[in-house]
Amino acid sequence: MTQVDLQKLTKIYPGSDSPAVHALSLTMPSGRITALLGPSGCGKTTALKMIAGLITPSEGNILFDGDSIVGVPTEKREVVMAFQNHLLFPHMSVSQNVGFGLKMRGLDRHTIQRRVSEMLDLVRLPGLDDRRPHQLSGGQQQRVALARALIVEPRVLLLDEPLSNLDAHLRGEMRELIHDVQQQFKLTTIFVTHDQEEAVVLADQIALLFEGQLHQYGPPQAFYERPLNERVARFFGGINFIPGYKRGSVIETGLGQLQCYSAALSDGAVVVTIRPENVAIGRNGSEINVAHGRVESSTYLGTHARFKVSVQAGNGHPPLVLEVVADASSIHLYPVGQTVKLYLPPEKIWLVPAED
């Protein structure tokens, strides 16, 4: 197991006006899964390739268990990187692909055969030893690539968009497999993805990047419940944002005064955010954090219903539209045009700084 530390890691490509990765500092714990998450072009794959040694940093440092590996050749870092396109050798069989790394290390044929068999069992591909890559499905090819990476027992496993080329029904299987394998080996794993759900399901901690800079790092729950800014909240599906002014635990808004139990920010201009599933619609005995609005639209989604409710704001504020997720049966209780009561639980409200 290996702890990976990035210290002000920066990469500026020749001819570029701005860094692809800028002063990225992270501590990725030993034996855990870390996701580098963000939209296309945010620098996450560049960071992964610097860890692998495929790209040289412009500035900063990379440490494995406290020792710098900057300048150490890729082949001596004991790191394996599995790419989204698998990069299997088309002229080799499955067993030859999986055992290739051990062959390059000079292990004897019987040891290689035994280890290959163990790996194919591990990734649930027994009996496919003699097939060629073109005879495999996309999911099977991904499993072969994973087995080939694991068989050399790397210190750190790097995965670049590991599920992006798979059909939706295969992604769940591969997530489960990657998680199970990582738990069995307690292997420090870093993977790149643009998919929030994938990051939340797989990772112990997530590093969210925008334009090469780190915006938040922590456990998946924090991105939903405690986003550091409005952009983070929006990336994780936040929809309801209400401008306000904080005075102690009370926030003055166009909906009136709202009480908030997680009011860690200093007094001043703030933005109130609450997730749609945390807004209660209908009858509620509360006298605080209540607003009345009109149902503008409703959508039945099988397991739940989604409403858009227009709330007339006071004190000259423009009307607000809040989105609410409720039980599926509520679709019949609150038709379009009906006036409804909304309750914003104080413990579910979160404040982020007001943007300029």
How far is 230 from 353, CA to CA, in rounded Å?
Answer: 8
pLDDT tens, 85-132? 767 888 888 888 888 888 888 888 888 888 888 888 888 888 888 888
User: Which is it for the CA torsion 21, 24, 27, 32, positive or negative?
Assistant: negative
pLDDT tens, 219-254? 999 999 899 999 999 999 889 999 999 988 889 998
Other CB atoms within 10 Å distance of the CB of residue 346? 16
pLDDT tens, 130-144? 888 888 887 888 888
186 neighbors 31 (Cβ within 8 angstroms): yes
Q: Are strands 205-210 and 33-37 parallel, antiparallel or unpaired?
A: parallel
**pLDDT exceeds 70 at position 316:** no
Average pLDDT over residues 299-312: 93
Strand partners, 98: none
What are 29's two structure tokens? Answer: 């714990």
How far is 286 from 41, CA to CA, in rounded Å?
Answer: 46
User: Which is it for the CA torsion 246, 250, 252, 253, positive or negative?
Assistant: positive
143 neighbors 94 (Cβ within 8 angstroms): no
Q: What is the pLDDT of residue 356?
A: 63
How far is 128 from 135, CA to CA, in rounded Å?
Answer: 10
| Exposed/middle/buried for residue 342 (C-beta within 10 Å: 0-12, 13-18, 19+) | buried
Placement of tokens 């067993």 in the chain: 95
> pTM to 2 decimals?
0.86
Longest Cα–Cα distance in the chain:
80
pLDDT tens, 31-86? 999 999 999 999 999 999 999 999 999 999 999 999 999 999 998 999 988 876 76
Q: What is the pLDDT of residue 256?
A: 87
163 neighbors 182 (Cβ within 8 angstroms): no
The 3-state secondary structure of 265-276 reads CCCEEEEEEECH
Domains, in order of start, for the chain: 4-225 (3.40.50.300), 240-353 (2.40.50.100)
Phi, psi for 261 (deg, rounded to 5): -85, -15
CA 19 vs. chain centroid, Å, equals 22
DSSP letter assigned to residue 111: H
Residues 6+ apart with CB under 8 A from 199: 35, 37, 193, 206, 220
What are 356's two structure tokens? Answer: 């300029």
Kindly report which listed range (3-7, 8-12, 139-143, 295-299) carries the lowest average pLDDT score. Answer: 139-143
Which of these, 22, 136, 154, lies nearest to 86 by C-alpha position? Answer: 136
Which of these, 159, 216, 212, 206, lies nearest to 11 by C-alpha position? Answer: 212
SS3 state at 195: coil
- Read out DSSP for 56-117? --SEEEEEETTEE-TTS-GGGTTEEEE-TT----TTS-HHHHHHHHHHHTT--HHHHHHHHH
What are 160's two structure tokens? Answer: 């670049």
User: Which is it for the CA torsion 131, 132, 133, 136, positive or negative?
Assistant: negative
351 neighbors 272 (Cβ within 8 angstroms): yes
Angle formed by the axes of helices 138-150 and 109-122, to 10°?
A: 130
User: Which is it for the CA torsion 260, 264, 265, 266, positive or negative?
Assistant: positive
Average pLDDT over residues 176-195: 88
**pLDDT exceeds 80 at position 283:** no
Phi, psi for 186 (deg, rounded to 5): 50, 45
292 neighbors 347 (Cβ within 8 angstroms): no
